[in-house]
Structure formats: structure tokens, C-alpha cells
């Protein structure tokens, strides 16, 4: 049985699982290119889609080998042309795969369940799972992978995919079980991301028990502020953690009520990590400065308090460029993100000041350029919401 790392490189390029656990520059302030348009839906018989995909994948693998061999002895000028040809071919296959894999999976998954030695069906199934994870569809990933494991399919990648997905949806005990098993089965070693998830399972299981208890008390009190984003992709309802982050919540509510966020765009979206917005500079047609703006002041971090909340799936958290430099920008997490949690000694971390209660599927589907059409406070406590601020951008 092949491990995930032995799947055709071209296939992995088309559906690579990339969990961005460690941002090299955690400033949340850099603009990001607008996402490519979503692939158009195509109609095709699933079995034919499987055959076509395998042929095009194999053709690409042959081209990849040919170009790599030629590259070794090519002139500098020719090397540039080879690199460009290789990139174009890989990108074209990626666009094709995005359209065809969901269709082919309808035939590939049953074929893989029927015959574990069906290499083409196995490759397509793994690619489909990778595409589900890349679009933050964690429950779907877990469902498919768990069904395959229950059917006796033993590729370590299935355990890795499912373990990561269970981690994302807060099933940390199951995630630990699956990722541990993946490590036993994959002699070449797990991806770094899976290893990090595995190491975080025990701690996050404790965090989650604490979080559930807090949420139960909040539900009973039923008095936390609520804000609704109407976005170009759908509505997102946010419950704000005024008890733990009162100043950050006051800032957010004051900005919402001043219509600061109306017309702003999500300028930075990283799959399996977060979607960031809240910059007024994103309202214009110039994306080059998106992510660099603020309300003209700064607010202090509240993540170093003893009762600070932790990042889970759907957390609403403050973006900043360093301690006490937050302003208007925020982000919505796709999954638990341990590296963003507070570390008072290192003066690192981000203030979680709310969570998504409705519309997680909308948040998970956000792309660069999606717009907050309007933001509205639909409930708040009976007092003034005026943040304490310091001078800044």
C-alpha cells in the first residue's frame, strides 16, 4: 500500500493539503492577490471522468519527467522557458482537476471501496479528500474518510485526512486516535502539519471542555452582544465575548454602528487558517494597500488576561502588527489555531472577542474580494460602548 507521499506528484500539485499553521510573518497586514474565479461546473459521466482524469494525470507526469530531464542540460535561456512551460502545465491541470475531481469521485470512491488495489480510484479518492480540506469542508472530509476506513481501506493518508478534519471540528479525541494510527501506518512519516495537530490534541481537548462550560453559561444568560454581517456570499452571525474582552467588543460595536465595515472586503484569505477583513482601504479598487489601514487609533490587546478565550473553529479575533496595535481589522478562523493563542511571556497572541453562531459555512467559503455589504448590531447590553484607545494609524 502506497503512502500519501507516493501519490503522483502532479496529482498532489492539483490537490495539495496545506494547513497554514505557522505564518512566517504573523502581522496580518499584507494584501493578498484576489482569488481566481471558481471553476465552472461541468457535466460528465463519473466513470468517464475517472478515465479522463487518469489519462491526463499520466500525460502530465510524463511531461513533468521530460521537462525535468531536459532542464538538467538546458541553457539558462531554455531553462526559463522550460520552467514557464512546466508552471503553465501544472496550473492548467490544477484548474482542470478542480472541476473534474468532484465528478470523478462519485465513481472513484465506490471503486476504491470495492478494490483497494485500484490505483486510479485510490489517487482520485485522496485528491477528492484533499480538495475538501482545501475548501474547509471538514465535516464532509471526515465523513468520507471515516467511511473508507470503516470499509477496510488502509492508506495512511485516509487517517491523516480524517484526523485533521476531526481536529478542525473539535473532535479532539477522535483526531488523536486517527493521527496516531496514521503515524503507525506511514513508515515515511506524517506531514508536519499532522504532527503539530497530534501534539495539540490533548491540550485542545482540555480547552474545549472549558469552552463548552463557558458557552453553556453564556447561553443561559443570553445577553451577549450580537452582530450580523451581510456579505456578498451570505450572512454571518457573530456573538461577542464582552465578558472577557470588553474593550475589544466596545471597539467593534462602535465601528459597526458607525458603518465603518459596510463596503469593506475580505482582503486576506488562507484556506485551513482564516479569512481577514475590516480595512477601510479595501473599499476602493486598489488592492495594493489592502490590509494596511485602520481607524486612526489603536486598542490594547486583551488576550493576556487570565480569562482570555482560545481560538477554535469560527473564532472572531483581532488582527494586529504586534502587541497593542489592533484597530479595525479582524479575522475569522477556519479551525482551531494554537499558534495564535496568547503567550504573555513572548508578548504574542491575538484577542478572541467573539465567535460565529450562524453561517460558518459562509465564512469557510469566503474568498479574497468578498464584501461585507452591511454590518448591524442586533443586540447589545444597556450601556455605552466607547473603547479605550491610544494614538496610532
Provide the pLDDT for residue 211: 98
pTM, entire model? 0.86
Phi and psi at residue 328, in whole multiples of 5°?
A: -120, -20
Question: CA 156 → CA 2, 159, 181, 267, distances in Å?
Answer: 8, 5, 8, 36
How many angstroms separate the CA atoms of 281 and 269, rounded?
16
**46-52: average pLDDT:** 92
Q: What is the pLDDT of residue 4?
A: 39
pLDDT of residue 3: 40
- If pLDDT is split at 50, 70 and 90, which confidence band does 42 have? low
Instruction: Reply yes or no on whether the pLDDT at 8 is more than 70.
Output: no
Sorted by sequence, the CB contacts under 8 Å of residue 181 that are 6+ apart come out as 159
Residue 179 has pLDDT above 90, yes or no: yes
Tens-digit pLDDT profile for residues 79-134: 999 999 999 999 999 899 989 999 999 999 999 999 999 998 999 999 999 999 99
So what's the pLDDT on residue 23?
36
What is the CATH topology of the domain spanning 223-391? Cyclophilin (2.40.100)
Could you tell me the residue ranges of all domains in the chain? 33-204, 223-391
End-to-end CA distance of the chain: 56
Residue 41 pLDDT level (bands cut at 50, 70, 90): low
Q: Is the pLDDT of residue 26 over 50?
A: no
Question: What is the band of 285 on the pLDDT scale with cuts at 50, 70, 90?
Answer: confident
Local confidence band at 12 (pLDDT 50, 70, 90 cut-offs)? very low
- Measured between alpha carbons, how far is 364 from 137 in angstroms, rounded to an integer? 8
Mean pLDDT for the chain overall: 89
pLDDT in tens, 50-59: 999 989 989 9
Q: Tens digit of pLDDT for each residue in 362-374?
A: 999 999 999 999 9
Higher-confidence position of 221 and 40? 221
Q: In which order are the strands placed within the sheet that holds 234-240?
A: 268-270, 274-277, 330-333, 315-318, 352-358, 234-240, 226-231, 372-379
pLDDT in the model for residue 347: 80
Q: What angle do CA 246, 213, 175 make, to 5 degrees?
A: 110
Fold of 33-204: 1.25.40
User: What per-residue confidence (pLDDT) applies to 37?
Assistant: 53
Q: C-alpha angle with apex 189: 184 to 191, nearest 5 degrees?
A: 115
pLDDT in tens, 286-323: 888 999 999 999 999 999 999 999 999 999 999 999 99
d(CA 60, CA 146): 31
Per cent of the chain over pLDDT 70 is 88
Amino acid at each position: 500500500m502506497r503512502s500519501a507521499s507516493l501519490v503522483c506528484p502532479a496529482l498532489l500539485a492539483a490537490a495539495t493539503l496545506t494547513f497554514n499553521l505557522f505564518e512566517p510573518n504573523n502581522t496580518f497586514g499584507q494584501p493578498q492577490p484576489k482569488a481566481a474565479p471558481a471553476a465552472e461546473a461541468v457535466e460528465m459521466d463519473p466513470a468517464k471522468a475517472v478515465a479522463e482524469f487518469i489519462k491526463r494525470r499520466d500525460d502530465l507526469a510524463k511531461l513533468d519527467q521530460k521537462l525535468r530531464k531536459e532542464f538538467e542540460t538546458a541553457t539558462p535561456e531554455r531553462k526559463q522557458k522550460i520552467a514557464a512551460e512546466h508552471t503553465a502545465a501544472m496550473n492548467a491541470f490544477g484548474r482542470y482537476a478542480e472541476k473534474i475531481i468532484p465528478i470523478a469521485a462519485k465513481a472513484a470512491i465506490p471503486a476504491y471501496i470495492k478494490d483497494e488495489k485500484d490505483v486510479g480510484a485510490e489517487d482520485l479518492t485522496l485528491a477528492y479528500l484533499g480538495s475538501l480540506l482545501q475548501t474547509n469542508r471538514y465535516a464532509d472530509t471526515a465523513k468520507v474518510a471515516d467511511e473508507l476506513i470503516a470499509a477496510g481501506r488502509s492508506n495512511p493518508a485516509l487517517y491523516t485526512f480524517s484526523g485533521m478534519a476531526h481536529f478542525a471540528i473539535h473532535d479532539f479525541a477522535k483526531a488523536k486516535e486517527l493521527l496516531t494510527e496514521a503515524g503507525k501506518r506511514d513508515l515515511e512519516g506524517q506531514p508536519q502539519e499532522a504532527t503539530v495537530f497530534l501534539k495539540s490534541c490533548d491540550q485542545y481537548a482540555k480547552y474545549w471542555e472549558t469552552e463548552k462550560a463557558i458557552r453553556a453559561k453564556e447561553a443561559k444568560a443570553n445577553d451577549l452582544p450580537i452582530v450580523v454581517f451581510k456579505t456578498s456570499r451570505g450572512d454571518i452571525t457573530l456573538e461577542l465575548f464582552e465578558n472577557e474582552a470588553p474593550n475589544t467588543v466596545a471597539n467593534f460595536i462602535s465601528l459597526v454602528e458607525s458603518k465603518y465595515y459596510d463596503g469593506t472586503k475580505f482582503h486576506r484569505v488562507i484556506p485551513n487558517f482564516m479569512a481577514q477583513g475590516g480595512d477601510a482601504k479595501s473599499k476602493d479598487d486598489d488592492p495594493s494597500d489592502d490590509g494596511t489601514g485602520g481607524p486612526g487609533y489603536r486598542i490594547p490587546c486583551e488576550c493576556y488576561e487570565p480569562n482570555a478565550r482560545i481560538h477554535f473553529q469560527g473564532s472572531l479575533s483581532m488582527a494586529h502588527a504586534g502587541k497593542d496595535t489592533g484597530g479595525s481589522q479582524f479575522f475569522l478562523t477556519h479551525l482551531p489555531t494554537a499558534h495564535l493563542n496568547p503567550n504573555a511571556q513572548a508578548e504574542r497572541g491575538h484577542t478572541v472577542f467573539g465567535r460565529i453562531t450562524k453561517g460558518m459555512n459562509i465564512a469557510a467559503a469566503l474568498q479574497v474580494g468578498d464584501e461585507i455589504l452591511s454590518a448591524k448590531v442586533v443586540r447589545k447590553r444597556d450601556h455605552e460602548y466607547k473603547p479605550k484607545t491610544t494614538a496610532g494609524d
